Structure 1
Amino acid sequence: MTTVFAIANQKGGVGKTTSSVNLAASLAATRKKVLLVDIDPQGNATSGAGVDKYEPDYTILEVLTGEVDVEQAVVGTPEESGFDLIAANGDLTAAEVQLLDMKLREFRLRNALARIRDDYDYIIIDCPPSLNMLTVNALTAADSVIVPIQCEYYALEGLTSLMNTIEKIRSVLNPKLHIGGLLRTMYDPRNSLSNDVSNQLISHFGDKVYRTIIPRNVRLAEAPSHGAPVITYDPKSRGAVSYLALAGEILRREQAMQKTQQAPARTD
């Protein structure tokens, strides 16, 4: 059964793309079939996965506008990364305007991915750092949202806006959408503010906060410039170990959820 994750936060610089690339690689390392969909015009997930963002013949732009079938836009990443990719680049900026005039504009991505959804165990969508039509498409296509949060002063303020957007999408466009988890990123345990915000997140959201914490890590920051996930760039680094732990936590949550859904209803 395929799970589609949107990794979203309208605040930039919180580790969204880093989490998208490294979670895709970490899930692939557990022998899961993974597709990473870059829907951010910056194309950072594409280059971070080791693909020149202007090299593929087709990108997510042509998929959203219906110029090609989604299968034609899927490319491989370097063998050691182990996952498939639909690339994005600066041309995607044009999709914002084009989508406004299209029928079922909020469902373009969901309808496209439906053709290949069953080919993968996980599909991960890297969203832009804004709540625009591209992000709406991602949230409409997703089953679950992973929200990376840097533990700093403005984190909770931005989170409220995102939660309101997710609730609107759920009520109008995608009733099955839910929060998969809140991921604390760039965490420095020596910083009292990081600890305070972390405690507030747990107080407000309880078990929706992943137990795995992504630390500040030099290797994690260096990996994108080498076009590689951190688990291939430096598999022994704290960043690599943390994203592998996150993949494990997500797999355990998925298994627990499936068992709950399959359990027979009590009649007493």
Structure 2
Amino acid sequence: MARHAAPDESAVPAEAHDETEIPAQGAPAAQPEYDIAWEVQRAIRILNPNGEIKMPRPTKTRVMAVANQKGGVGKTTSTVNLAVSLALHGNRVMVVDLDPQGNASTGLGVEHGVGTPGIYESMVHGTPLKEVAHEVDGIPGLFCIPATIDLAGAEVELVNVVAREARLQKALNAYDEELDYVLIDCPPSLGLLTVNALVAAREVLIPIQCEYYALEGLGQLLRNIELVKAHLNEGLKVSTILLTMYDKRTKLADQVEKEVRGHFNELVLSSVVPRSVRLSEAPGYGQSIITYDPASKGAARYVEAAAEMAQRGSRTKKRKK
């Protein structure tokens, strides 16, 4: 896959929803060829130059399903960029790509072509996750379980399997490496794959776009979560709502934000992700927005969101080594 040279750096304004980008002074010399390690260090310099942003490790692994059956709301973009942000700040993170389209795998630069072992093999054939986990290039502590097109047939193949709703949970329980976060990128549906994610998870993160029909279908998702909680996973809870695709030029975006915050209260993260061309471009180069354009507002907002998630989930109790 072609790689993209780093965009020019620019300063990140403080306003939460402003997408305006201002050229920085004293930016480092351009890197002539793509170097992921250089890009990662550059991202850290821009996004957290003084080390003030902290993302404390949780006391136990946080397994989070990123779900919304409505497509195009920023599920995969949020999964990828939150994962990269957390990993760059000292957390060990695994992304489980549960969407047959494999977009999370693409966004992390992980191979997911036909024949690549991935989550399909773990769920259908019982292959240990350790054998199909890929380290994400240049980002220590970040791993991805890729999805291939084979996953599209998994729901049919699992129909007659005993405890088919718990195949992912079984695979995760058998993974013996230490992890701080498992982020499961769910497909845009409420089928068996999403049910597997909800059974395996302890928390649900719901991205909601600040556009027309933002809450359309959300009631059905919440009802399904309650059904899974009642019958299959009593510890499941909606812990996080992330507002995405905010366009400061429209009154509608403000109205949707107020409506969502009024309905979900403290579950909604303070950080709001803007609509951005850069966010759409990054996956095409196998990158997150964090390394593709760390000076963009999208990168800053995802780092803020990850920090807020980490701080909400942290405890004073010392983690066992």
Residue in 1 that maps onto 2:222: 163
Q: CA deviation at 1:67?
A: 4.1
Structure 2 vs 1, CA of residues 81 and 246 (structure 1 numbering), >3 Å: closer, same or farther? farther
CA deviation digits over 1:202-248, x for unaligned, max 9? 11111111111001122211100010011111111111111100110
Q: CA deviation at 1:57?
A: 3.9
> 2:251 and 2:217 mapped to 1: Cα distance?
20
The structure with the larger Rg is: 2
Residue in 2 that maps onto 1:235: 294
Contact 1:22–1:231, Cα closer than 8 Å, also in 2: yes
| Identical pairs, percent | 46
Q: CA deviation at 1:56?
A: 6.9
Picking from 196, 199, 203, the partner of 1:144 is: 203
Tell me if 1:185 matches 2:260.
no
> 1:87 and 1:23 mapped to 2: Cα distance?
17
Contact 2:211–2:245, Cα closer than 8 Å, also in 1: no
Tell me if 1:121 matches 2:184.
no
Contact 1:81–1:232, Cα closer than 8 Å, also in 2: no
Computed over aligned residues only, the root mean square deviation of the Cα atoms, in angstroms, reads 1.5
Contact 1:140–1:169, Cα closer than 8 Å, also in 2: yes
Amino acid at match of 2:173: A
> 2:308 and 2:115 mapped to 1: Cα distance?
33
Residue in 1 that maps onto 2:130: 71
Amino acid at match of 2:92: K
How many pairs does the alignment contain? 258
Residue in 2 that maps onto 1:210: 269
Amino acid at match of 2:210: C
CA deviation digits over 1:162-185, x for unaligned, max 9? 111111111111111111111110
Structure-2-length-normalised TM-score = 0.78
Could you tell me which runs of 5 or more consecutive residues in structure 1 were left unpaired when the two chains were aligned.
261-268
Amino acid at match of 1:143: R
Residue in 2 that maps onto 1:20: 79
Higher relative contact order (CA 8 A, sep 6+): 2
Residue in 2 that maps onto 1:110: 169
Q: CA deviation at 1:157?
A: 2.4
User: How is 1:24-39 mapped onto 2 (pairs within 5 angstroms)?
Assistant: 24-39=83-98
Q: CA deviation at 1:201?
A: 0.7
Structure-1-length-normalised TM-score = 0.92
List structure 1 runs of 4+ shifted beyond 4 angstroms: none
Amino acid at match of 1:205: F
Structure 2 vs 1, CA of residues 29 and 49 (structure 1 numbering), >3 Å: closer, same or farther? same
Could you tell me which runs of 5 or more consecutive residues in structure 2 were left unpaired when the two chains were aligned.
1-59
Residue in 1 that maps onto 2:56: none
Contact 1:56–1:75, Cα closer than 8 Å, also in 2: no
SS in 2 for 1:157: coil
CA deviation digits over 1:68-87, x for unaligned, max 9? 12211111111147510100
> 1:194 and 1:176 mapped to 2: Cα distance?
33
> 1:259 and 1:165 mapped to 2: Cα distance?
33
Amino acid at match of 2:310: L
Q: CA deviation at 1:55?
A: 7.0
Residue in 2 that maps onto 1:50: 109
